[in-house]
Every structure is written in C-alpha cells, then in structure tokens.
Structure 1
C-alpha cells in the first residue's frame, strides 16, 4: 500500500511539471521517513553525493564535451564531405550521408540529443534546399541520431552499467553490431523513400574527390581509433577513453585551425546543463533506491514474475513491453535510473546476462526517444526542421520499425550482439 502511494505521489508531481529528479528525491525521502523514521534522513546528503561521484559517471561530461569540440572545430563538416563523396551519388544520397555521419558522430558524443542538434542544424536545411520534405528530413535525422545510444560510447550505457554494477566496456562492445545493423536498415528505408519520391542524387562518384575528402578527414578518423581501440584493446577504461576523446578532439581541431570558440563556449554550457540534469537524477535515485531496497520491492517483483513464468524469452518479452511503454513517458536517463535497480534482481534470478539485458534496455530507450509525448530527440529534430511532430511521426514510423526489428533480433538471438563480447572478454 505504501509503495502504491509513493508511486502515485511521484506520478502526480511529474504530471504537474515538477522536475523528475525533484519528484524522485521527494518520494525517496517520504518512503524512508514512513518506513524508518527521521533517523534515516541524517545521511541523505552524503548518500546523494556518493551516488553521483562514481568513477564511471565522469565519462558523461567528457564525451559530451568531446562532441561539442568536434562540432565547433570543423570536424563535422569534413566528415559530411567524406561520406557524401562515398554514397552521395545514390538516389537520396544526402539522407544516407545524414545516417552515415550520425554513425560516426555517435562514436564521439554518446548523446542522441547532441547528435541531432549538431547534425540537424547542418544537414536538415541542406536537405530541404535540395527538395526533401521537411518531415522526411526531420525523421531521418531523428532516427539516425538514436544510433548514438546504441553505438559506443553511449551515455545511457554508462548509466546502466553504474546502476546494474556491470561492465561498461562490455556494454560498449555489445553495441557495435546492433548499431551497424541499425544504420544499414535505416539506409535501406531512406533509399526506398528516395526511389518512391524521386529524391535527388548528389555529385557523381569521382575517385579524385573521394581521395581529397579522405585526406582532409584523415585526422578526424583518429578519434574513434583512439576511443574504441583503447577500450577494446584493454588499454583504457571507458572513463579514461572519455578524457582521451576530449584531448584528441582538441588536437584535431587545432590541426584544422578553425576552432570556433564562441560556438564551443555555447556548446559547453549546453553540455554542462545536460550533464547537471543527469547527475541530479543519479543523486536523487540513491534515495529512491535506498527506500526500494529496504522495502524489498525488487525482490518482490522478481518473485511475482517468476511465479508466472521462468522462461527467459517470456521474461524478456514482458520487460521489452514494459520498457517500450515507459519510453513514451520518461527520458532514457530517468528510465534507467528509476527502473534498473528494481528489475536487476529479476534478471539475476532468471539467469539473463546483465550485459545482454543492458543492450536490450538501451535499444528500447532509443525507440522511446522517437515516440511522443516525451520524445526528446524527435522534438529536437522537429524544432530544427520547423515541422509538425505528428506529421514527422507518420514518416518516422518506418525508421522506428527498423529499430524495433534490431531490438527483436538482439533480444532473441543474443549471439548477434554478444559474440564480440565473448571474443574480447570471455
């Protein structure tokens, strides 16, 4: 009864526009107060501080900063030119360039919102100028940006690893194949749209242009090599790789000699605000987590579901449906921080690999970023394109279908995402 009252109070606070982190903290305090009295509140400030200062969480502001430097330093423009030289000659080539550059940018920023803000401001006006509808331009930019939380480094994966006490490096490795599959599927859908609506091609393929753009973008290619090579090779942790990403982005931007400091300052401030929101959520979740643990709620949930079925496929189906639903209403960071501590005992009891489950959760939340009413990435893309969110959603449903197909494949054929993890770590 108390649990139902606590969650009802939190839902009411969220509905009246109280920030999720504040609602989470207040409900956690109420739960502790009712179950253990005022003595349990003595150390809440220290508990919140300790919860938000985990070493792995330092990677979040570092990856956000690296993405800001990359965009302000002219690296993004060179990547667009290179990808355009490779696939721009295909019908609808600019849409595929959009997807291809998002694939690369995801490896630096780890943030889908940062990706769509950076790529969208450059590519959406160009697509509209070349005859693409604003709805299609926003849809392809939004869906491809969600690759940023599938492909390493991924901020939601870092949060999941901290919440589930599992390896963030293994999660990063598990995200590589699904990310590539997702990119390929999105490109196929974009090509089918281009054929149907006769979207334009870009310049004809020329080897000389490919060579020129490759040499121009060559310094930028060192960034994923440093980040992913360091992590996969076991030379650095994810947090250390984030620091290297910042340093490498600064060096490459200095090499190009066109770092826009006013743009960088603005991007750093936005990144700082984004990081502060996430860290406040993490700190608030400590209070709710303490209450849930003492009230044995996760264990009761595990026992309840296991009394219905012990089949892994059925448990994953139930949890997939659950995460898809909460993705409609919660941002990815809030969903992970609020729900993962509750379901981890169920995952453990069912014998499901926590790394595999982390990828399933991440894919679900990537889809949630595309589904209104709370669709942070889709809303950002619509804002840039000045398009109606419901009209964009009619187009975007085909791209979301690709992400759903990848989700089902990774859920029920775990060897697809996990074989690289087995090869590198087990």
Structure 2
C-alpha cells in the first residue's frame, strides 16, 4: 500500500516533501487507525527538532560569504601554483580547486554553479573543449558532498542519530581517494588527447598567489580544526566558518559588501526551507515505515538473497544508482535511509558511518545523471554547453566513482580508520 501510494503521488508531479507527508496521511486513512492523526503534527515537528540541523543554513551561508568575499578566485590561484605548469594543468587545477572548495561549500549544486563561472571560460580560452571543461568541473563538484563539511552527511547523521562530527571525519579518506581517482582520469585522458600545455608561473607570481590565499585558507581551517580537535560541534564550526568568511572577505580581501547581505540571507533561507521541509516530511514517512514494519520485511527478503555484507552493499549500490537517476540526492537519502540503515546495522553488522558514506557517494552520482541530474543541468545552464556534450567526457569520472564505491564496500576500514 505504501509503495503504491508513494509511486502514484510521485507520478502526479507533486513536490517530494508533499509526497512523503501525503503518503503518511493516506496510510493513516486507509488503515482506519485515525488516532494516529493526533500524532502526525508531533512527528512532523519532532523531525526538525535537532540541533545538528542548524549546521545546514550555516554551511550554506559560508558558501555564499565565500563567493561574495573573493575566496573562490584565490583558492583557484593557489591550486595553479602547484600543478598549473604541467600539460593539462588547468584540468588538474579544476579538480584541486574543487577539493579546496569542497571543505567550505558542502553542496554539489552550489559548487558546480560557482566553479563553472570561474573555470570553464578560462579552460576554453586556453584551448579545452567546452564539454570537457564543464565535465571536469561537474566531476570536481562531486567532492562537495563527500569532503567535510557536507549537507548530506549532516542529514544522514540526524536520520541515523550518530555523531555528525564523526560522519565528517569518515568522509576524509574517501574524498581524498575520489580526488586522486579524478586526477588519474585526467592524466590518462591527457595522454590520449594531448591537452594544451600549462602556464608556468614565475617565482614572484607563485609567492603572490600563496600569500593572497593564506587568509582564504583560514575559513576551512577554522572549521576542520574545530571539528577534528573536538573543540566545536559541526554546527558551532559552521558558525565560526561564517564569521571567518565575513572577516576575511571584508578586511583581508576587501571584497565583501554588506549591502548584498540581504540577498545572500534570502537565498540561504529559501534553500534551507526546502531542505527542512523534506526532513520534516521524512519524519512522518519514516514513522509510517516503522509502523508498517517495512525494514523487517526487507531484511527477510535480503537475507534470502545473501548473508554476505559485501554483496548486500553491492545490491544497495545498484539500487541507489537507479534511484539517484530519478530522485534528488537529499530526497532519496531521506526516503531510503530509514528503510535500509536498520537492515545494514542489525542484519549485516555494518557500521552506520560506513553505510552512510557509501550511500551518500552513490546519491551524488545521481546529481550528474539524467533525467534529474540537477548539477548537470546547472552546469549546462551556466556554461551554455549542451548536456549531451558534457555526459560523454563525464563518463570516465563517473566510472572511477563507481569503482571507488565498490572498493569502499569491500574495505570498510577506508571509511572508519580515522574515527576514534
């Protein structure tokens, strides 16, 4: 009954938050247990009564302040110091700069919008095809939901009721491995297609870029040191990051204009409202799922297929790759985590951190795959490239991401090694 109601409402084109809430209401009506209507508002608001969710608007604000304060441009210039001189240097710079920004933005859609404006025109000017330049930018944006801080990790931590700080730490090694995989892809493609030569900076230019970027590096440093050192919660770290981004943009780079603060806060408020409405609706939907004993039913089915945790993770990977093509990553996470996580923990004894990281990486792939592919269409709109131009050069990056998911599924210590 629940899958049928959910599928029917989804096909009608309703927003996913409304679909989740209405599915729960339909279940109560059809079951005849009308006393559950009294619990509906309580479950709805209880889902967002979580301190950790405050990190979401604060991380969004950090990203807005970073863009306004000129931090993005300086981090790109810093990346050029290290690898800008080699053949295909701008492609490497794109990935490395995305890696720097991933520790600040935490949202693939926001990151691809920013970096498409910064990197794609410059790569085109130096002889790269627009489709490849945009695909490289999209691939780099996949790092945003993995390298901490990450909104997906915050939401998963709230849903799983685990430490968001430890969830961030669990994403460090997978994020670095993903960046290394993307650099390997660029190296192999560069050998095959003979990318344009890099621009060699003088010693004075390198020194100037490094000195200019030092204040910008304070923003991720404040957040990461606070979280890893146990000095702050992720929410407090996000607030300190917003303060640091404001001070750096205003006094160090002198590019922050407070008259634009209203627009930034408006964008943060709208985006936060969208995310929290999903979380609230997921609260009542998850409540119905548990009431209907869906996780137990799924567990019995999966146990009949396999008792091997690795095979289970592979099955989940295939499921999420399919779901990610039709549902937004946050919506899919909110929908499936309450169903799959209890099975992973109770039946297969999989760490929630291990499962969460693999699940979030899975769903980031969906950001770049049609028919939804939100980040793909953002990049196409910003750069003017057709989606078909982007997808073909993007495939090797997606392939290396899938291989990474298989590796992480097989070797969970790559996720849990840094968690104390």
Structure 1 length normalisation: TM-score? 0.94
Residue 124 of structure 2: which of 121, 125, 128 is its match? Answer: 128
Corresponding residue number in structure 2 for 1:402: 400
- Secondary structure at 2:119 match in 1: helix
Corresponding residue number in structure 2 for 1:301: 298
Corresponding residue number in structure 1 for 2:282: 285
Conserved in 2, the CA contact under 8 Å of 1:131 and 1:200? yes
Residue 417 of structure 2: which of 405, 416, 419 is its match? Answer: 419
Conserved in 1, the CA contact under 8 Å of 2:86 and 2:199? no
In 1, the alpha carbon distance for the partners of 2:257 and 2:392 equals 37
Q: Deviation per CA, 1:274-321: give whole Å up to 9, x if none.
A: 221111111111111111111111111112212332211121111111
Q: Deviation per CA, 1:4-50: give whole Å up to 9, x if none.
A: xx322322322332111111110111112223533211242232122
Pairing of 1:16-415 with structure 2 (within 5 A): 16-255=12-251, 256-261=253-258, 265-349=262-346, 350-415=348-413
Q: Deviation per CA, 1:113-154: give whole Å up to 9, x if none.
A: 111111111111222222211111111111110100110001
- Secondary structure at 1:91 match in 2: coil
In 2, the alpha carbon distance for the partners of 1:28 and 1:390 equals 38
Conserved in 1, the CA contact under 8 Å of 2:353 and 2:415? no
In 2, the alpha carbon distance for the partners of 1:76 and 1:260 equals 16
More deviation, 196-205/342-351: 196-205
Question: Would you say 1:15 and 2:3 are equivalent positions?
Answer: no
Q: 1:133 to 1:58 in 2, by over 3 A?
A: same
Q: 1:275 to 1:183 in 2, by over 3 A?
A: same
More deviation, 197-206/149-158: 197-206
Conserved in 1, the CA contact under 8 Å of 2:95 and 2:137? yes
Q: Deviation per CA, 1:194-248: give whole Å up to 9, x if none.
A: 3433332342143322221111111111122211111111111111111111111
- Secondary structure at 2:223 match in 1: helix
Question: Aligned-pair distance for 1:262?
Answer: 6.0
In 1, the alpha carbon distance for the partners of 2:123 and 2:131 equals 11
More deviation, 241-250/266-275: 266-275
- Secondary structure at 2:220 match in 1: helix
Conserved in 2, the CA contact under 8 Å of 1:112 and 1:147? yes
In 2, the alpha carbon distance for the partners of 1:90 and 1:263 equals 39
Question: Aligned-pair distance for 1:91?
Answer: 1.4
Q: How many pairs does the alignment contain?
A: 418
Conserved in 1, the CA contact under 8 Å of 2:107 and 2:151? yes
**How big is the alpha-carbon RMSD for the aligned residues of Structure 1 and Structure 2?**
1.6
> Structure 1 unaligned runs (5+)?
none
In 1, the alpha carbon distance for the partners of 2:190 and 2:305 equals 47
More deviation, 221-230/300-309: 300-309
Conserved in 1, the CA contact under 8 Å of 2:249 and 2:255? yes
Question: Aligned-pair distance for 1:155?
Answer: 0.5
Conserved in 1, the CA contact under 8 Å of 2:89 and 2:199? no
Question: Aligned-pair distance for 1:265?
Answer: 4.2
